[in-house]
Amino acid sequence: NNQGLIRCFSFFIKGHFDEEVFYLKNCVVILAAGDGKRMKSEKPKVLCEVLFQPMLRWVINACEKSEAGDICIVKGKGAEQIDAFLEGKYQTVMQQERLGTGHAVMQAVDFIKEHVGGHLLVLCGDAPFVDEMTIREAYQQHIAQKNSATVITAELDEPKGYGRMLRADDSIIGIVEEKDATDREKMIKEVNSGAYWFCIEDMLAVADRLTNDNNQKEYYLTQFVPLLIAAGKRVGGFRAATDHIVLGANDRAGLLNLNRIAAEKIIQKHMANGVSFLSTDGVLIMPEVTIGQDTVILPGTILKGNTKIGNGSVIGPNSLVEDSVIGNDTVFNASQCYQSKIHDHVKIGPFCHIRPNSEILDHVKIGDFVEVKNSTIGEYTAVSHLTYVGDSDVGKNVNFGCGVVTVNYDGVNKHRSVIEDNAFIGCNTNLVSPVRIGNGAYTAAGSTITEDVPADALGIARARQTNKEGFAAKKLEGRKRKL
């Protein structure tokens, strides 16, 4: 990529081997072989979702943003589901038997050997809060201290259940599991996150010394620390800025907690950027969403995917926006929008459905129980209530009466209609596509329009009314007696 070319060019200009070029040979192994038994799920644990995206996606995103290196995922039970999720974008290896974290990493030994001369980042696929900054800063410390391994750690007020870090000055001299810790060691608050940077050559040099001499008969990644120290190598520890780095989920309660923490962190970020929340009840915002200053997010709002909200808008309550753009000073009330664009000064809702590939231009008003699909709505147009606009190009300053339907599907094919500027579509009009309503044209209420209506013309397409005298009196005679 371009960044890689720049780094290589920098290497040649400097005329010596520097750490920026070294960085190009780095790689990442993500441990994702957990089977999710305690989740009571048919899918692997790493595919359980935090804010609508799998935990594994969070970890991969952090790796890609930090440019940590080539990625390999270690998979286990449910491998076919992980393959489907990854869509062939990343290398994978299989851990047939779950024999510990050290065993899992060594399943990727061929991938790791391809990157000899660089460094290896090991992450847990079910720890979604690893972030770009932690990965980058841990790597910088790893290089600056010339470590063979750097353990990413966190400070916990309640460290129970975690391995404690044993330090001597700025070096790590060991990791002790809680069950093996002395009372004094249990007082240590710095814990192992399960994430590491390794010098690949140093790691591979001691890899054959891993043993499973423990009650579980498993090979642990933590064993690399004493092995490297015994080989005379240096091991360091990088303290992450937040204790969230260690958090994972083994069951649905833990997953709920991750969702709660993720939601709160994202809301805090948006408030710091000038977004208002009157209440955060039911508000869920995915990490990729951007929101402009002075926008208000009301309770029950869900913002998903690559959604962008402009300045000064009001979103909610009880609204869902996914992979869409909403402009400035727009009100989006109790409605849903998918893969569409809504411009500035628009009022939508309540109870509207904006389906994919729609574009709503400035100053449009869309009222209650309106559905728009694969259509463009021009400036200052009003679609006030109980209307379906599908596969249509609607001009400026058009008025739709109540109950209008664009009849766009003939049972086999979809057809498109055009409604030009300044048209007036009367209540309960059916526009049988394909049809064109000309500039300034009018359709009479109750019409079924099957042919084009010229500009400034009135289109009437309904049966002539006939009144039958006395019919109703006879028909309703029995009903009147009952009343």
Q: Which amino acid is at 85?
A: F
Q: Which of 103, 142, 244, 385 is catalytic?
A: 385
CB atoms within 10 A of CB 292: 18
Helix (H, G, I), strand (E, B) or coil at 326: strand
pLDDT for 384 equals: 93
Helix (H, G, I), strand (E, B) or coil at 463: coil
> In residues, how long is the chain?
483
CB atoms within 10 A of CB 463: 6
pLDDT for 38 equals: 87
Q: Where are the beta strands (DSSP E) in 227-368?
A: 235-239, 276-277, 284-285, 290-291, 296-297, 302-304, 308-309, 314-315, 320-322, 325-326, 331-332, 336-338, 341-342, 347-348, 353-354, 359-360, 365-366
> Which parts of the chain register pLDDT below 50?
1-23
Contacts of 16 (CB under 8 A, 6+ apart): none
If residue 148 lies in a helix (H) or strand (E), which one and from where to where? none
pLDDT for 215 equals: 77
Beta bridge partners of 419: 394, 437
Burial of 421 (0-12, 13-18, 19+ CB in 10 A): middle
pTM value is 0.86
CB atoms within 10 A of CB 144: 11
Q: Among this protein's residues, is 385 annotated catalytic? A: yes
Helix, strand, coil share of the chain (percent; to 5): 25, 30, 45
Beta bridge partners of 284: 302
Token digits for 124? 């847990």
